[in-house]
A and B are shown apart, each in its own frame.
Chain A
C-alpha cells in the first residue's frame, strides 16, 4: 500500500479524530528512533487518536489511548492516518 498518498497527523485540525494507519521511519538524528518511540508511546496502526490543541506553526497535543503527547510538526508528519 502506498502510504505517501494518505494524510498525516500534522494535517488534522483541533478536535479532529483519526485512526493510525502507518508510521514512516524518521531520520534517526542524534540516534533517536522517532518511529519506534512513537509506537512505544501508543501510535500503532489501528489506534484511534485525536488532536486536542495545536499551537500556530508550533507543536500539536495529541490524545492517544489515555495519554496526551505534544509532538512537533515533523514528528506528526511521520504518522499516516485515516481521518474519520
Chain B
C-alpha cells in the first residue's frame, strides 16, 4: 500500500463483515464492493483476507473487510481465530474495525443470533444485516425488525445480497452512522460473562418476541436430502457427479490446453522470426514464451474444476458429499472433503492442491496436499505410454486381458495405495486423534451465476499472480541450466550433454546407477523437472533424435534395444513416485504458505521413487537372470 493510499485509508471507516458460515456474507461483500476487491492472505497464514471499498449514495467512502465465517468468537478453527483476533483488535498488522456489520441468515436466526449476542459484549458499534430476508418471507417467517432492533440494541436492516439493490437499506444505515472516535473493543473475556446456555435461552426469548413463523412449511431441503443422502441413491448420485467432474477436468480441458500450446508456439515462432537466431532468440522463445505457456496450460483444468467446486458449494452439495464420504476417507485419517481434491489430482495435481482449500481442518488439508501428487496425473501418461510400448509385450493374458493394460492399471493402483499408506503414516506419526466434524449441511439453494463468475476469476488471478510467477521463474532457470554452457567445437554428444543440466545429470548417474539408470536417463530427468511429460522430449534430445510429435515413435524401439527390461521397469516405478513437476511444488509452497512442505514433498517422493525403482530393478534382474 502506498503512502498516499494509507493516509486516505486511515480516515476511511473500516467496516468488518462478520457472520456464521452460510449466511450469504460473501455475496453481500460482493454486492457492496463489486470489483473493488483485494484478495491476499493474512500475514503468516494461508487464510484469505478479502478487503474491498465502496462509496455510499451520500458520497462517503468505506472500507470493508470480509472476515472468515465463524460460529463463535470462542475460536475452534484457524479461520475463526482470525475473525476473533481482528474484531478484538488483537491481530498485529490489522486495524480494529470502526464498526461490525453482523450478517445473519434470516431463515436461521436461531443459530445466527447467538453469535450476535456474543459479539455485542465487545461493545463495538454494530449493525445487523438480516440477509436472505426474501427467502425467509417465502417460507412464512415474519421478522419484526423494529422489535428485533429494540431487543438487540442495534440497528437492524433487511438485505438481499443476491439481488441488485438488495443492499440499499444497509447503505442508508451506514450513512446515518457517525464513525467519529475509534472505539476500543472490550477484552475477549467479556464474551464469557454469560454462559452459552443462558445465551441460547436469551436467543429463544428474543425469537419468541420478534419472530413468528408459519408452521413448518414442508422443508424442501429435507426432501432433497431424503434422496441425496439416501443409503443407496446417495452414493450413486455422488459417484455419477464425481464421474462427470473427473471426465470434465480430464477431457474438456484438452481443447483449450491444445489451443494455448498451439497459440504460444505460434507466438514464439512469430516473435522468433523478428529476432535473429542466437542466444536472445532462445531465451525469449524457449525460455520466456515457453515458460509463460507452461503456466497457462494449467488454467483450463483449474477453471473447470473450480467451476464445479464453486457450483456444488453454492448449491449446498459439497458438505453433503463430505458427509457421505467421511467414513471411507476417515479410515485413513482424512476427511470427506479430501475426496474431490484427490479425485481431480488424477487429471492434474495442481488444481487438486488448490482445491484442498475447501478442507477446513488444517491437518486434513495438509495431508491431502501432500498425497495429491501420488495420484496418477495425466502428465504421467506419455511417459507410461513410451515405456510400456517399449518394454511390455502387446499380448493377451488369461484370455481377455491385455498385458499392457494390466501394467497401466497396476501403475494407477500403486499410486492410490501409496497415497493411502502415506496418509496413514502421517496420521500415525502425528499421534492422530479423531477430531470433531461438526459440519453444517446448509439449506439447498439455486446457484448464483455472478458469485460463481467472481469466484472463478479470483481463482484464476490467484494462480496466475502468486503461483504463475514462481513457475515462470523456475522454467527460465531450467532453460538456463539446459542451454549453458553450449557444446564445445567438435562435440560428439548432443549439446545438452555439455550444459549445466547435463553435468548435473552425469553427476547423478553415480547415484542412479544402482537403480539401473544410464547417463541418458539421468540427464533427461533434469529438464524433466519442468513436467513429467517433458522427459519424453528430453530423452529424444539426449538421443539426438529430430524432435516433433513422432519422437515417441522412434524413441520406443531405440530404448527397447539399448536398455535392459529391468531399467525400463525401474523407470516406470520411478515415475509412479518421483515429483517431476516443479509447478506442483511451486503450488504447494504457495498454498501451504511455506517452502518447507514443498521440500518435504520433494524429499519423500524422491525417496519413495528411489526405493521403488531399486526394488523393481533388482527383482527384475534376478528374474531375467542378468
Contact = CB atoms under 8 A, between A and B. Distances in A.
Interface string B192-208: 00001100110000000
Nearest to A50: B222
Contact of B200 (A31, A34, A42): A42
A12 interface: no
A31 B327 CA distance: 23
B12 interface: no
Contact of A67 (B110, B435, B437): B110
Interface in B315-335: 319, 322-324, 326-327, 330
B437 A44 contact: no
A39 B442 CA distance: 18
B200 A39 contact: yes
Given A61-B229, A66-B108, A41 B74 contact: no
B261 interface: no
Contact of B436 (A37, A42, A44, A63): A37
B438 A71 contact: yes
| Chain B binding surface, main DSSP class | helix
A53 B108 CA distance: 20
Contacts of A82: none
B437 A41 contact: no
A69 B441 contact: yes
Contacts of B490: none
Given A37-B438, A41-B438, A53 B225 contact: yes
B222 A52 contact: yes
Contacts of B626: none
A75 B436 contact: yes
B120 to A, nearest CB: 15
A75 B438 CA distance: 8
Contact of A56 (B319, B327, B330, B436): B327
Contacts of B330: 58, 72
A61 B438 contact: no
Nearest to A56: B231
B433 interface: yes
Contacts of B434: 29, 72, 74
B326 A55 contact: yes
A68 B440 contact: yes
A71 B441 CA distance: 11
Interface residues of B, number: 38
Contacts of B76: 31-33, 37
Nearest to A65: B110
Nearest to B74: A36
A23 B571 CA distance: 57
- How many chain A residues sit at the interface, stated as a range, is 35 or more
Contacts of A57: 327
Nearest to B197: A44
Given A55-B327, A59-B327, A61-B225, A34 B436 contact: yes
A46 B415 CA distance: 50
A58 to B, nearest CB: 3
Contact of B441 (A34, A47, A61, A74): A61
B255 interface: no
A7 interface: no
Given A36-B196, A37-B71, A44-B197, A72 B108 contact: no
A20 to B, nearest CB: 11
Interface in B130-149: none
Contact of B437 (A56, A59, A66): A59
A30 B326 CA distance: 19
A45 B109 CA distance: 19
Given A58-B327, A66-B108, A44 B200 contact: yes
A69 B320 CA distance: 10
Nearest to A58: B327
Contacts of A52: 222, 225, 229
A33 B74 contact: yes
Contacts of A70: 319, 322-323, 326, 437-441
A66 B225 contact: no
A77 to B, nearest CB: 11
Q: Which of B71, B197, B229 has the most CB of A within 10 A?
A: B229
A41 B80 CA distance: 14
A26 B436 CA distance: 10
Interface of B: 71-72, 74, 76, 107-111, 114, 196-197, 200-201, 221-222, 225, 229-231, 319, 322-324, 326-327, 330, 363, 433-442
16 contacts: A30-B363, A32-B436, A37-B436, A38-B438, A40-B74, A40-B114, A44-B197, A44-B201, A52-B222, A58-B324, A61-B229, A61-B441, A66-B110, A67-B110, A69-B441, A70-B322
Given A40-B74, A41-B71, A71-B437, 20 more contacts: A26-B436, A30-B433, A32-B435, A34-B436, A39-B196, A40-B71, A44-B196, A52-B222, A52-B225, A53-B230, A55-B326, A57-B327, A59-B323, A67-B111, A68-B225, A68-B441, A69-B440, A70-B438, A72-B330, A72-B434
